[in-house]
């Protein structure tokens, strides 16, 4: 199985967002380990950029375009799009992401300061873990693969449940995390 992350980036931002793409590549490796550990699934991973050009309002880039891209690339691959626009519909309250069979997307927020790893971990990595968690639980035929993820997410956002923190080597840490992920202890 292949998990393919696609960093959707505006042409004019290619240079200034190089560091973020480096983080995306490391994050992809992190999720490979995380998925194996939490859901006992083996994935190969791949990372790419998808460069977008200014479009007219009639050809607006949205979730439909990404779903079509996913079909064209091949639906047997789990494609995960990190985008500069919000999903047009979602059942994920409190998180700008969308999931469907072998398909994920999340709004990727740009840090104000380059190399702000904590920002990337808090704003982006967590949302990616949320969407991947839905998909892994769905594949495992876990019945409440939507509701239970949202219950935990609410705990994270409103009840001070800490995200799980991981370091550079993808090991749990209490100090300066590089990656943050949803707490999966209630699912596994
Ligand atoms: Zn959700």
Are 114 and 79 within 8 A, CB to CB? no
What pLDDT does residue 105 have?
96
Is 88 a member of any domain?
yes
pLDDT digit string (tens) for 26-84? 999 999 999 999 999 999 999 999 999 887 666 678 899 999 999 999 999 999 999 99
Please tell me the distance between residue 144's alpha carbon and the centre of ligand 1 in angstroms: 11
- 12 alpha carbon – ligand 1 mean position (Å): 31
Q: Are 109 and 97 in contact (CB under 8 A)?
A: no
167 is a domain residue: yes
**pLDDT at position 8 over 90:** yes
Whether residue 186 is contained in a domain is answered as no
- Residue 147 CA, ligand 1 centroid: distance in Å: 8
Using the mean position of ligand 1's atoms as its centre, give its distance from the Cα of residue 81 in Å.
Answer: 15
The pairs formed by 110-117 with CB atoms below 8 angstroms and a separation of 24 or more are 110/17, 110/20, 110/84, 111/20, 114/16, 114/19, 115/19, 117/23, 117/178
- Decide if 154 is inside a domain: yes
State the pLDDT confidence band at 102, using cuts at 50, 70 and 90.
very high
CA of 168 to the centre of ligand 1 (A): 26
Structurally, the chain folds into a number of domains equal to 1
Has residue 172 been placed in a domain? yes
- Does residue 45 belong to any structural domain of this protein? yes
- Write down the pLDDT at residue 115: 85
d(CA 41, ligand 1 centre) in Å: 20
Domain containing residue 81: CATH number: 3.40.390
- Read off the pLDDT of each residue in 104-110 and give the average, rounded to a whole number: 96
Domain span at 123? 2-181
> In the structure encoding, which two tokens stand for residue 1, read together?
């199985």
> If pLDDT is split at 50, 70 and 90, which confidence band does 5 have?
very high
User: Residues of the chain with pLDDT > 90: what percent?
Assistant: 86
- 20, HSE (Cβ side, Cα atoms, 13 Å): 25
Beta partners for 10?
A: 52
CA of 16 to the centre of ligand 1 (A): 30
Predicted local distance difference test score (pLDDT) of residue 36:
98
Domain-embedded: residue 188: no
């Amino acid at each position: 199985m292949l998990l393919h992350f696609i960093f959707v980036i505006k042409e004019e931002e290619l240079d200034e967002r190089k560091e973020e793409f480096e983080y995306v590549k490391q994050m992809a490796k992190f999720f490979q380990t995380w998925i194996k550990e939490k859901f006992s699934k083996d994935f190969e991973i791949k990372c790419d950029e998808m460069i977008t050009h200014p479009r007219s309002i009639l050809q607006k880039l949205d979730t439909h375009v990404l779903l079509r891209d996913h079909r064209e690339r091949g639906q047997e691959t789990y494609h995960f799009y990190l985008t500069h626009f919000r999903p047009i519909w979602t059942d994920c309250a409190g998180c700008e992401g969308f999931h469907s069979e072998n398909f994920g997307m999340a709004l990727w927020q740009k840090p104000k300061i380059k190399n702000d790893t904590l920002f990337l971990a808090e704003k982006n990595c967590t949302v990616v873990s949320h969407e991947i968690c839905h998909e892994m639980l769905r594949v495992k035929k876990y019945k409440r693969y939507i509701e239970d993820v949202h219950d935990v997410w609410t705990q994270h956002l409103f009840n001070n449940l800490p995200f799980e923190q991981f370091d550079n080597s993808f090991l749990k840490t209490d100090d300066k995390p590089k990656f943050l992920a949803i707490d999966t202890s209630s699912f596994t």
